[in-house]
Amino acid sequence: MLLRRSGDRTQTSFNLGKLTNTSSLDIGIANEATLLTLADAIVTGSKTMIQTARENAFSELGEQASLDAVAVIAGFNGITKVANGTGLPLDPETHNSTVAMRTETSIDQYSESNKLQTWG
Amino acid sequence: MLIRKSISDAHHTALEEIAGPGTWLDGKTRNQVILESRHSKDCALCQSRKNALSPYAIDGLHDAVSDLPTDYIEVIHRISSDSGRLTQSWFNRLRPEMPAEVYIELLGIIACGVIMDTFAEGTGQELSPPLKARQGEPSRITNPNVIDAGAWLPILDVKNVPSNTGLPSTPNIARALGLVPTAIDLFFKVMRKHYSLSDMEFDLSRGQTEMLAARVSSLNQCFY
């Protein structure tokens, strides 16, 4: 999760738990509620939810930033298919340096071993 | 609407490439992958599995819109609709009927199509229809330059060095489609216009960008 590295670089501490719904505290990113609502609507919502979220984003962030947000959301909706569809392990360096973050965010629940245990 | 030209150009180029012969699949088949991926949202079996506690408890046949083989349709629908709950057991059941290279070419097209379709849906635009399929035989060139790195299939073998992002110079995600180098080219031709570790021209901060990336990864139950 590069958000953690981004925070390290600017000496900012982010509450990453909200990203995986393991914490209700704000993350600490500008416009986070609007952007997260947009991401949730596009990945899991109906056309109406997407339209509402997009209009709110246009109003709060402006058109270009909102469309750029949609671009990032779309990109990661695709690239996660590559990772999930190949059972891709973390790079060794990342695996070793993200132990605490994975615990904080419960990301380990998405690991191959956990998925195998849950669904076989 | 202020859609960046770099993005619309990349999508058009990808649709052109998809419509032509690939390494293992012909243009008509590659176009059908895009259509099947879209149709997974309307597939009753996919919806039942998505709503089930375990997708592996639900049997049945997919609603298909193409004449692709049933194992192709299983791959396309499952990856498009519920990739977060795929397991190596599911993957192993597909083999040995489906060659690993064919699986990878399918996966690259699916992922590319998901990006383009998600962007269209997110911006409120119509989905682009596939372009007219071009005749031609797949090249069927195998890539021996792959290595077992713990994924379900071999990935691209590269010599990695640390980069200034703290990640390896070629992270696993850039190697995952390594069995079919043209799939890597196709996918990243689109992906690079949607996200980059540096030199992004977007009107978002790096923090906003990474927050969105992490949220979407979580919604997709993606460990990587």
Span B35-54, pLDDT tens digits: 999 999 999 999 999 999 99
CB pairs under 8 A between A and B: 266
The per-residue pLDDT for A91 is: 86
Between CA B176 and CA B171 the distance in angstroms is 9
Confidence grade of residue B212 (pLDDT, cut at 50, 70, 90): very high
Structure confidence by residue, pLDDT tens digits, B52-67:
999 999 999 999 999 9
Interchain CB contact of A72 with B (< 8 Å) = yes
What is the predicted pLDDT for the residue at A114? 86
Range of the domain at A115: 31-119
Nearest CB to A72; choose among B55, B112, B209:
B209
A12, B48, B154 from B211: Cα distances, Å: 14, 30, 30
Distance CA B67, CA B72 (A): 10
Contacts of A35 in chain B (CB under 8 A): 208, 211-212
Two tokens, residue B89: 């057991």
Q: Which residues pair with B147 in a beta bridge?
A: B155
- Residue A4 maps to a domain: no
Residue A86 lies in a domain: yes
Considering CB atoms only, which of B118, B207, B217 is closest to A6? B207
Cα–Cα distance, B14 to B185 (Å, whole number): 10
Query: Is A84 at the interface with chain B, CB within 8 A?
Result: yes
- A13 close to B (CB below 8 A): no
Please give the tally of structural domains in chain A: 1
The mean pLDDT value of chain B amounts to 95
Q: Partners of B146 in the beta sheet?
A: B156
CA distances in angstroms from A24 to A14, A18, A87, A105, B88, listed in the order given = 13, 6, 30, 12, 33
DSSP A1: -
Instruction: Indicate the SS3 state at residue A99.
Output: helix
Output the pLDDT for position A21.
66
pLDDT tens sequence across B75-124: 999 999 999 999 999 999 998 789 999 999 999 999 999 999 999 999 99
- Average pLDDT per block of 10 residues along chain A, 120 residues long: 59 67 77 96 97 98 97 98 96 78 78 83
For the cut 70, the answer to whether the pLDDT of residue B201 exceeds it is: yes
Percent of chain B at pLDDT > 90 equals 89
Task: Tell whether A84 is covered by a domain.
Answer: yes
Coil, strand or helix: which one is A39? Answer: helix
* CA–CA dist A47, A44 (Å, integer): 10
CB contacts of A68 in chain B (<8 Å) are 4, 202-204
Reduce the secondary structure of chain B to three states and give it as a string: CCCCHHHHHHHHHHHHHHCCCCCCCCHHHHHHHHHHHHHHHHCHHHHHHHHCCCHHHCCCCCCCCCCCCHHHHHHHHHHHHHHHHCCHHHHHHHCCCCCHHHHHHHHHHHHHHHHHHHHHHHHCCCCCCCCCCCCCCCCCCCCCCEECCCCCCCEECCCCCECCCCCECCCHHHHCCCCCHHHHHHHHHHHHHHCCCCCCCCCCCHHHHHHHHHHHHHHCCCCC
Instruction: Tell me which chain B residues have a C-beta less than 8 angstroms from the C-beta of A6.
Output: 206-207, 210
Contact A82 B162 (CB under 8 A): no
Q: Does B60 touch chain A (CB under 8 A)?
A: no
Q: What is the pTM of this model?
A: 0.93
pLDDT of residue A2: 61
- Which of B7, B191, B208 minimises the CB distance to A78? B191
pLDDT of residue A39: 97
**Residue from the list B4, B107, B168 with its beta carbon closest to the beta carbon of A81:** B107
